[in-house]
Amino acid sequence: MGYNTRYTLNVEHTKLTLVEDTLKNDLEIIKDLRNTCEEAKFALNEHGGSYDNTKWYNHEDDLVKFSQKYPSIIFTLSGVGEEPGDVWEKYFKNGKKQIAKATIMIDPFDESKLK
């Protein structure tokens, strides 16, 4: 078994270096990741979206390492897991990561909103 997640990858260009600017566009970068990482082939399609829910347990390590290849690009990996509320985004840039988990908030009772 295992835990399945639906992944989406976004490639955001910041100040591009000359080498990156002349060599790769978004689709080529995603293709490079899919060719570099076996699990990314199953988790992401050629546009960075998902084919289906899948397992990619090492996505953090894979993207930390891969982001070093493109140090001026911000990679945003979004995930929606099997469990309710398991929604997150992880940002990777030049070998570093930031994790942002969704929070679910319920507004408090407000009598003025009763209809």
Q: Return all residues near 18 (Cβ < 8 A) that are at least 6 apart.
A: none
CB count in 10 Å sphere of residue 18: 7
pLDDT of residue 16: 61
Take residue 107 and report the two structure tokens written for it.
């507004």
pLDDT of residue 14: 75
Which of 24, 14, 23 lies closest to 73, judged by CA?
14
Domain boundaries, the chain: 5-106
Q: What is the pLDDT along the chain (115 residues), one digit of tens a residue?
A: 689 999 999 999 876 655 555 456 889 999 999 999 999 999 999 999 998 899 999 999 999 999 999 998 999 999 999 999 999 999 999 999 999 999 989 999 999 999 9
pLDDT of residue 17: 55
Q: In whole angstroms, what is the distance from residue 5 CA to residue 71 CA?
A: 26
pLDDT of residue 93: 96
Q: How far separated are the first and last CA of the chain, in Å rounded?
A: 47
pLDDT of residue 23: 55
Lookup result for tokens 């080498």: 19
Take residue 87 and report the two structure tokens written for it.
């929604």
Which of 65, 69, 101, 70 lies closest to 83, judged by CA?
101
pLDDT of residue 51: 80
Q: In whole angstroms, what is the distance from residue 87 CA to residue 69 CA?
A: 27
